Amino acid sequence: MQLRPSLQAIADLVPEGSKVLDIGCGDGELLKWLTKEKHVDGRGLELGQSGVNACIAEGLAVVQGDADTDLQYYPSRAYDYVILSQTLQTMRDPKEVLINLVRIGHRAIVSVPNFGYWKNRLYLMFFGRMPVTKTLTYQWYDTPNIHFCTLSDFVHLCNLMHIVIEKRVYTDDQGSLSCLKGKNIFANVLSDEGIFLLKEKLLL
Amino acid sequence: MSEQDTIISTFGTAYREVAVGKIAILGKDTPLRLECGIDISSFPLAYQTYGKLNAQKSNAILVCHGLTGDQYAASTHPVTEKPGWWESIIGLGKPLDTDRFFIIATNVIGGCMGSFGPKSTNPATGKPYGLDFPVVTIADMVRAQALLIDYLQIDQLFCVLGGSMGGMVTLTWAALYPERVFSAVAIATSARHSAQNIAFHEIGRQSIMVDPDWCNGRYYDERKFPVKGLSVARMAAHVTYLSESAMHRKFGRTLQDREQVSFGFEADFQVESYLRHQGATFVERFDANSYFYITRAMDYFDLTENGGLKSYFVNSKVRFLVISFSSDWLFPPSESRLIVRALNAVAANVSFADITTDKGHDAFLLDVPEFFVNLSGFINGAANARGI
């Protein structure tokens, strides 16, 4: 079973046998892989009926619900890793969701599409219209992505909220950009997506 | 009496005698202490089984019925001669595959299909108990079923599942006997009976009580039967099992056997005629006093008191599936979400699907493909994890 490159980059951050909550788990592709290959104790949360059906049909423990409203009911530190893949930009209140992620999990893994990717910048500059690309496939009027940000914006928000970024992975449509590491200043232009390993800063 | 003997019970206005299948006599050595404080011993519990128990005794599934259901989940009902109430779910190649699983369906205590209930003979008087029967609770029903599972020499059930009241029974199994339940499926149910539902039950009970043929519960002695009261109770309840849109789709404003309204109070509309028919057939299979006892058990059901729902499921190893139906207004999806939140709050292994359908509460008894997909998927996943 082969994962999509961006999911593989997330999966690589999850240790064997950990307890994982995948928020917005879709049809369960990542959860299934993690359960099978890394023997994680996995749970999911998914809004869409067809995704939930697919997950439960695979024997995955997935709850139909809305991350915007349901995360508050999850207990603190109940999971080793909480994953939010390509979903933050669809949340009504991304800040609240981030607070919940680092509260529920000892670590959170968040991947966000980079609106500052060079292809998006060129699209906007030359066509003067909202970018529609291989990764941003929607028109502005039908997109579920209501809170786009650039990677710099995301890092800025984490700093504001005192969330510690322990690791950053950058990808484009070919997979991991291993040439870009840490706080690379070109990442906000060169990478299509950023994957961040986060944890709550404990104020002693 | 040997434990496999069938029991004869009487049904309907004519007190027709019908054999109601297998029974086990339970509580012979140690009586069962009911929540009301009364001990019951050597009492019958009626049950049916489908499929075969495997050598490891790991493939047993307990199916729990709703308010007026019984042990005939997947075989012809001896009174109505209709198919079992869950034949869509149980059988060869169905979500509960009888080739793979051993299915047990019991009639709850308080019921009227052979289990210990108000129609049973009171040894003190030689007459049916009537309202002298002790008030039973959902937990009492579960403890009685647990005695049956002991009697069948099964340590752990692979799955307990049921809809409506059967979902309450299922949740109670997982709460009282977590080590005896590998997985649990609670369908169209709630962790506590709502004020609205208690209200509907009270309407049903009151309509029986005002029927003079109810005779304060002693109608058996006079060979009477509260036909009108019980059928009105059923008519009112039946409306709550459907949805507004399903009812309108099915009946609309269609007239029954006439071209125009009668300017009277005959059953002008098809929906009236349908409800009258539902009431009339119900009284031929169900006991009015059982209706009291079982609705009361549901009314008293509340897993959210005493420390809250989640306190029952801390460190629970049970794999849960919770299912609701979008148009169910008797046990609406919000009730299921309460259960799911409590299970999430203790990081229990829970799946939840809210199935979009206009079939109302009755959807769990009907052909709803998405429901079957989720149920099959969960059962298969759990069976693989259990090594069945």
* Residue B204 and residue B119 share a domain: no
Partners of A75 on chain B (C-beta within 8 Å) are 344-347
Question: What is the structure's pLDDT at A135?
Answer: 83
User: Who's near A167: CB < 8 A, 6+ residues apart?
Assistant: A13, A196, A197
Partners of A63 on chain B (C-beta within 8 Å) are 340, 344, 350-352
* Residue B181 and residue B54 share a domain: yes
Residue B250 lies in a domain: yes
Kindly list the domain boundaries of chain A, sorted by start residue. 5-114+146-200
Domain end: B256, B274, B297, which one?
B297
* Residue B314 and residue B183 share a domain: yes
Give the residues across from B47 on adjacent strands: B106
Question: What is the structure's pLDDT at B2?
Answer: 46
The pLDDT tens digits for B46-72 are 999 999 999 999 999 999 999 999 999
Please say if the pLDDT value at position A177 is more than 90.
no
Catalytic site includes residue B328: yes
Give the one of A19, A56, A75 whose C-beta lies nearest to B377's C-beta.
Answer: A56
* Residue B12 and residue B131 share a domain: yes
Please say if the pLDDT value at position B1 is more than 70.
no
* Residue B191 and residue B230 share a domain: no
**Cα B146 from Cα B155, distance rounded (Å):** 10
Q: How far is B102 from chain A (nearest CA, A)?
A: 20
Question: What is the structure's pLDDT at A57?
Answer: 87
Report CA-CA distances (Å) from B134 to A69, B37, B188, B202.
44, 9, 28, 19
* Residue B35 and residue B20 share a domain: yes
The pLDDT tens digits for B242-282 are 999 999 999 999 999 999 999 999 999 999 999 999 999 99
Exposed / middle / buried, residue B94 (Cβ in 10 Å: 0-12, 13-18, 19+): middle
Question: What is the structure's pLDDT at B84?
Answer: 97
* Residue B149 and residue B21 share a domain: yes
Give the one of A58, A64, A74 whose C-beta lies nearest to B381's C-beta.
Answer: A58
> Is A74 close to B356, i.e. CB distance below 8 A?
no
* Residue B213 and residue B110 share a domain: no
The pLDDT tens digits for A121-147 are 999 999 999 999 888 899 999 999 999
CATH assignment at residue B208: 1.10.1740.110
Residue B1 lies in a domain: no
Please say if the pLDDT value at position A174 is more than 90.
no
Question: What is the structure's pLDDT at B4?
Answer: 59
Give the one of A52, A55, A73 whose C-beta lies nearest to B344's C-beta.
Answer: A73
* Residue B368 and residue B350 share a domain: yes
Residue B326 lies in a domain: yes
**Cα B277 from Cα B231, distance rounded (Å):** 9
Catalytic site includes residue B41: no
The pLDDT tens digits for B214-227 are 999 999 999 999 99
CA closest to A42 among chain B residues:
B349
**pLDDT band at A185; cut points 50, 70, 90:** confident
Q: Which domain holds residue B310?
A: 6-195+302-386
Annotated catalytic residue within B231, B328, B336, B362: B328
For chain B, the average pLDDT equals 95
> What total of structural domains would you count in chain B?
2
Ranges of H-type helices in B62-164: 138-151
In terms of CATH architecture, what is A5-114+146-200?
3-Layer(aba) Sandwich (3.40)
Between B369-386 and A49-57, two packed helices, what is the crossing angle to 10 degrees?
30
Burial pattern B25-35, b for ≥16 Cβ within 10 A else e, equals: bbbeeeebebe
Report CA-CA distances (Å) from B55 to A116, A197, B52.
62, 48, 9
**Cα A177 from Cα A187, distance rounded (Å):** 9
Q: Percent of chain A beyond pLDDT 90?
A: 84
Exposed / middle / buried, residue B261 (Cβ in 10 Å: 0-12, 13-18, 19+): exposed
* Residue pair B350/B344 in contact by the 8 Å Cβ criterion: yes
* Residue B211 and residue B183 share a domain: no
ipTM: 0.89
**pLDDT band at B306; cut points 50, 70, 90:** confident
* Residue B186 and residue B145 share a domain: yes
* Residue B206 and residue B140 share a domain: no
